[in-house]
Structure formats: C-alpha cells, structure tokens
Amino acid sequence: MNRQNGLLEEIYHRYRRELFACALAVTRNSERAEDAIQDAFYRLFRQRRIPRNPKAYVFRAVRNAAIDLLRKRPTAEQEVPESLFDPADGPQDFTERREFQRRVETALHTLSEDERETILQHLYADLTFQEIADLRDTPIGTVTAWYRRGLEKLRTRLENR
C-alpha cells in the first residue's frame, strides 16, 4: 500500500462518523451520505498526491461528492439518524430523549442550508471553524456567523416549544 492510500485509510477509520455527519448535513439522507463517502474515497484513492491538509481535503471531497449526488438525483429528506445522538441514557429516559431528538431535528430543518451544515460539521463532525472555512472555501468570519446565527435560531425554537 502506498503512503497516500495508508493516509486516506487512516483518516477514514479515524473520522468515519464525522465524515458521515458531514455528508448527512448536505444530503439529509443516510443512504446518500454513505454513497457520497464511497464516491469521495474512490476518487481520492485514484489520485496521486497528498495535499498539505489531508483531513480538510478529505472532508471537502466528501462534501463535494454529497453535493454532486444531490445535483444528479435530488431526494426527500430523512430523519436524522439516532446514531448522531448520544445513546448513553438509560431506558427510563428514552421517551424524553426521543422527543428532544425530534424537536432538534425539526428545528434543524428550519435553518438555512449554511447554518445547518455548519452546525452539524462543527458539533458532529468535530471540525474546527477554520477547517470548515477551508472545506467550504469561505471566510472564517462567515462560518462563525452561520454557526452563531444557527445556534441562536435553534435555541429560540427549542425554548418556544
């Protein structure tokens, strides 16, 4: 295995959950998110160069693959999978947790694409604002504004219920 393939494999194993969250933020469909990751890694394994920031490069490739999938075949939105939420609660908390998840999910769908994607990339994909800015080729100030605005909208919507 060459150095690049080993690095890509390491990034995949280390960040697979975060890559899924990143793709899901764009596609809003778990099957499409998985397809986007597969498409991105297929393309990446065929390339022969290692970029300066491989983690950001892989996340950008996954995001671009997700956008490409949506352009080719738009689909209806799906629920946000439970795997994104922490399953550490006991059985007695299941109903409350599920209701909260439903409220968060509903609130997320009311945000702009940029706000929702930024929040999911930062909170669930564990990307820094700088990495999101690099990934989306956007100034960091814009990314932090999307995040701040999106969180404020979420907070307002969740408090009003």
Cβ-based neighbours of 80, under 8 Å, separated by 6 or more? 24, 101, 104, 105, 108
* Distance (Å, whole) CA 31 – CA 9: 21
For residue range 46-60, what is the model confidence (pLDDT) as tens digits? 877 767 778 888 888
131, pLDDT greater than 80 = yes
For residue range 18-29, what is the model confidence (pLDDT) as tens digits? 888 888 888 888
For the chain, the structural domain boundaries read: 3-159
3, pLDDT greater than 80 = no
* Distance (Å, whole) CA 108 – CA 120: 9
Q: How far apart are the first and last CA of the chain?
A: 54
For residue range 52-105, what is the model confidence (pLDDT) as tens digits? 778 888 888 999 999 998 888 776 555 555 555 555 555 556 677 777 778 888
| SS3 assignment for the chain | CCHHHHHHHHHHHHHHHHHHHHHHHHHCCHHHHHHHHHHHHHHHHHCCCCCCCHHHHHHHHHHHHHHHHHHHCCCCCCCCCHHHCCCCCCHHHHHHHHHHHHHHHHHHCCCCHHHHHHHHHHHCCCCCHHHHHHHHCCCHHHHHHHHHHHHHHHHHHHHCC
Q: What is the pLDDT of residue 112?
A: 92
* Distance (Å, whole) CA 66 – CA 61: 9
